[in-house]
């Protein structure tokens, strides 16, 4: 049997992906998880106790249209539930965007490196990846993206703060960029780490939708990061009701579990918890950032709950070495590692282990010894 002959053309042509590789192995157990940008403090006590009380009710199907959580979000943003689409994680919403909007050959524009779900979604649906390099300070290059827009551009994606680099752009710059896009381009702004940005002028581009922006714009948010609900899988899109209604066509039936909706609805009521986690993270990420510099690493100043850094050694070997110390970190590419900011204790252990791992590894070819520890 030739399986490849059964395949949809886009899947046949899809390059190997990190996501694909990850689906073939499970993550090691009993490790300190500093590789997936989860919230080191977990979910709040109120969410935990609310879920415990509801466990036995989960023999019932949940509300088909996730109305409670959509209504809650709509009230929060002074929008209508018709402006909100719930997905089993914002990654599932990203997949819906591809399924609903991409035709074969459509150009999808974003910067590279960025969140890996985007290139996957483009290829899954036969779109063409148009990747503009980040600026030298690792930020989204919005001018570069505008220059790359053509008649075939279907979607322009901005991840802000960006993953894996942890950089962010002031919202006003992203808003100006969105307004400059021609009307045939759907703007997608992924704000998965929005709550971690420590800048009083930073605002969500949901504001443009509240103000009645009349061109295609989708803002993505998630409960996986600061709300600490990654394993429950719940995220959402905010947009014009016409766009949201079309996206519903690609929404799986019963796509968000009853318990995930309940957790998210409860978590939204507890903004003090979000503020507490944010304050801890802002404090701790500075300590980790400075610790990395003290070890001789190059590190990018973080705006979210993770740090992109270069040890001047093979990042795969560094990750492997850290695994042997019981700590998982990520290896986004051939130069960099990425670490999630943890609790103070985890961060101390991380920096200590990294120092040991670096000492045991040779510098990469061509790296100046003066950069070494
Ligand atoms: C983690 C992350 C997400 C969220 O993924 P979920 O599917 O909601 O868990 C979305 N975008 C970016 C940039 C991320 O890093």
Average pLDDT over residues 198-216: 97
Do 134 and 145 meet the contact criterion of CB atoms below 8 Å apart? Answer: no
- Spatial contact of 335 and 300, defined as CB atoms under 8 Å apart: no
Q: How far apart are the first and last CA of the chain?
A: 55
> Average pLDDT, stretch 50-74?
94
Helix H or strand E segment including 88: none
Name which residue leads in pLDDT, 368 or 340.
340
132 within 8 A of 141, measured Cβ to Cβ:
yes
- What's the chain's average pLDDT? 95
The model's confidence at residue 366, banded by pLDDT at 50, 70 and 90, is: confident
Domain boundaries, the chain: 31-41+272-360, 61-267
Share of residues in the chain with pLDDT > 90 (%): 90
φ, ψ (nearest 5 deg) of residue 163: -115, 130
Using a 6 Å cutoff on CB, does residue 222 contact ligand 1? yes
Top-level CATH class of 61-267?
Answer: alpha beta
Cα of 92 to ligand 1 centre, how many Å? Answer: 9
Q: Is the dihedral of CA 285, 169, 112, 118 positive or negative?
A: positive
Checking if the pLDDT of 370 tops 50, the result is no
* Pairing state between β 337-340 and 327-328: unpaired
State the distance from the centre of ligand 1 to the C-alpha of 93, rounded, in angstroms.
Answer: 10
Q: Which pLDDT score, from 0 to 100, does residue 235 have?
A: 98
pLDDT for 373 equals 39
Q: What letter would DSSP give residue 330? A: B
The pLDDT score that the predictor gives to residue 368 is 62
- pLDDT of 119 > 90? The answer is yes
Do 31-41+272-360 and 61-267 fold alike per CATH? Answer: no
- Domain 31-41+272-360 fold is 3.90.1150
Distance of CA 277 to the CA centre of its chain: 18
pTM: 0.96
- Protein residue whose Cα sits closest to atom 14 of ligand 1: 192
State if residue 158 touches ligand 1 by the CB under 6 angstroms criterion. no
Dist. CA 362 → ligand 1 center (Å):
34
Q: Copy the structure tokens of residue 361.
A: 């590894």
pLDDT tens digit sequence for 83-110: 999 999 999 999 999 999 999 999 999 9
């Amino acid at each position: 049997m030739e399986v490849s002959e059964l395949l949809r053309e886009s899947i046949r042509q899809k390059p190997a992906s990190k996501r694909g590789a990850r689906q073939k192995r499970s993550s090691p157990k009993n490790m300190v998880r500093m590789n997936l940008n989860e919230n080191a403090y977990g979910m709040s006590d109120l969410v935990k106790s609310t879920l415990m009380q509801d466990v036995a009710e989960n023999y019932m199907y949940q509300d088909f249209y996730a109305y409670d959580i959509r209504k809650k979000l709509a009230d929060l943003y002074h929008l209508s539930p018709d402006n909100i689409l719930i997905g089993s994680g914002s990654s599932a919403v990203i997949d819906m965007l591809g399924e609903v909007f991409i035709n074969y050959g459509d150009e999808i524009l974003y910067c590279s490196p960025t969140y890996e779900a985007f290139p996957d979604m483009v290829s899954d649906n036969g779109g063409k990846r148009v990747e503009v390099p980040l600026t030298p300070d690792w930020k989204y290059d919005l001018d570069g993206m505008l220059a790359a827009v053509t008649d075939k551009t279907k979607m322009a994606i901005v991840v802000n703060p960006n993953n894996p680099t942890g950089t962010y752009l002031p919202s006003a710059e992203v808003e100006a960029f969105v307004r400059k896009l021609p009307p045939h381009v759907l703007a997608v702004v992924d704000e998965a780490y929005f709550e971690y940005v420590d800048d009083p002028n930073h605002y969500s581009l949901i504001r443009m939708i509240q103000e009645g922006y009349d061109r295609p714009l989708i803002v993505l948010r998630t409960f996986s990061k600061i709300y600490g609900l990654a394993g429950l899988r719940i995220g959402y899109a905010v947009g014009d009701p016409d766009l949201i209604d079309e996206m519903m066509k690609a929404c799986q039936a019963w796509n968000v579990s009853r318990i995930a909706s309940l957790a998210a609805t409860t978590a939204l009521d507890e903004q003090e918890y979000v503020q507490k986690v944010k304050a801890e993270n802002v404090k701790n990420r500075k300590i980790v950032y400075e610790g990395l510099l003290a070890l001789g690493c190059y590190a990018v100043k973080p705006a979210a709950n993770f740090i992109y850094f270069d040890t001047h050694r093979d990042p795969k070997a560094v990750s492997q070495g850290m695994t042997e110390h019981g700590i998982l970190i990520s290896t986004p590419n051939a130069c960099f590692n990425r670490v999630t900011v943890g609790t103070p204790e985890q961060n101390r252990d991380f920096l200590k282990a990294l120092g040991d791992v670096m000492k045991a590894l040779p510098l990469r070819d061509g790296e100046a010894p003066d950069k070494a520890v």
